Chain A
Amino acid sequence: EAGVVQSPRYKIIEKKQPVAFWCNPISGHNTLYWYLQNLGQGPELLIRYENEEAVDDSQLPKDRFSAERLKGVDSTLKIQPAELGDSAVYLCASSLASGRQTGELFFGEGSRLTVL
C-alpha cells in the first residue's frame, strides 16, 4: 500500500515568492493534516481536513497561507508571499480516525522549504 506522498521534497525560493506543496493521502483516509516542523521542534498543526471540509484552521496564518482539498482527496498548501521565517519542513499526514476520535497519523516525507 502506498504511503502519504508529498511533493516537492525540497524547494528553495526567494522571499516574497509564492510556493505550493502537494499531498496525496493514503487511500481511504478521510482526515488530512498539514503540520509545520521547525528544526528541533515537534510538528505544529496548521490545518485539519475531514473530507473536503477544513474542520480546524485556527493555527493557519491566513494572511499568507491557504489550503484546499478538492474532492476530499489530494490537498495543496500555498504560501504567498513567502517570508524568511517560513523556512521549515511542511508535513502532510492522514488518518482513518475522524471527528473527536484520534488515531495513528501516517506522515509523508515532508517538503523542506528554504526561503532566501
Chain B
Amino acid sequence: GENVEQHPSTLSVQEGDSAVIKCTYSDSASNYFPWYKQELGKRPQLIIDIRSNVGEKKDQRIAVTLNKTAKHFSLHITETQPEDSAVYFCAASKGKSTFGDGTTLTVKP
C-alpha cells in the first residue's frame, strides 16, 4: 500500500519567516495531494491541495509544489503568523488518502 513520510516532525520559526514541510510517497498511482491543518483539539481542515497534473499551486501565503518523478511534494508558508501554529498533515491519495505523521509548526511572536 501507499506509504507517506513527512519531515520535519517539529518546526519552530520566528514570525515573518518562511516554513517548509516536505513529504514523500511511494505509490506512483497517487494522484491527489492535500494538506490539512489541525489546531489543538480541533478537526483537520484542508488548506491547499494539488493534483498530479499540476506542478505548483499557490493560495495567498501558502503554496504546494509536486515533483512526480521524485515522488515528493512540499508545503511552503511565507510570512508566518502566530495563528499558523498547528499540526500540518500531508496526504497522498488514489481513492483513499494515506496521511503522513504530521509536523508541529510553532510560530514565535
Contact = CB atoms under 8 A, between A and B. Distances in A.
Nearest to A4: B43
A107 B45 contact: yes
A56 B96 contact: yes
B40 to A, nearest CB: 12
A44 B93 CA distance: 13
B43 A104 contact: no
A49 B74 CA distance: 30
Size bin of chain B's contact surface: 20 to 34
A108 interface: yes
B43 A110 contact: yes
A109 interface: yes
Nearest to B100: A42
Given A42-B100, A42-B101, A91-B43, A100 B95 contact: yes
Contact of B43 (A45, A99, A108): A108
Main SS class of interface, A: loop
A102 B99 CA distance: 13
Q: Which of B44, B93, B100, B102 has the most CB of A within 10 A?
A: B44
Contacts of B102: 40-42
Q: Which of A45, A102, A103, A105 has the most CB of B within 10 A?
A: A102
Contacts of A44: 99
A109 B105 CA distance: 21
Q: Which of A56, A91, A107 has the most CB of B within 10 A?
A: A107
B54 to A, nearest CB: 15
A103 B34 CA distance: 8
Contacts of B94: 100, 102
Given A40-B102, A41-B101, A41-B102, A102 B43 contact: no
Interface of A: 4, 33, 40-45, 48, 56, 91, 99-105, 107-110
Interface of B: 4, 6, 31-32, 34, 36, 42-46, 49, 89, 91, 93-102
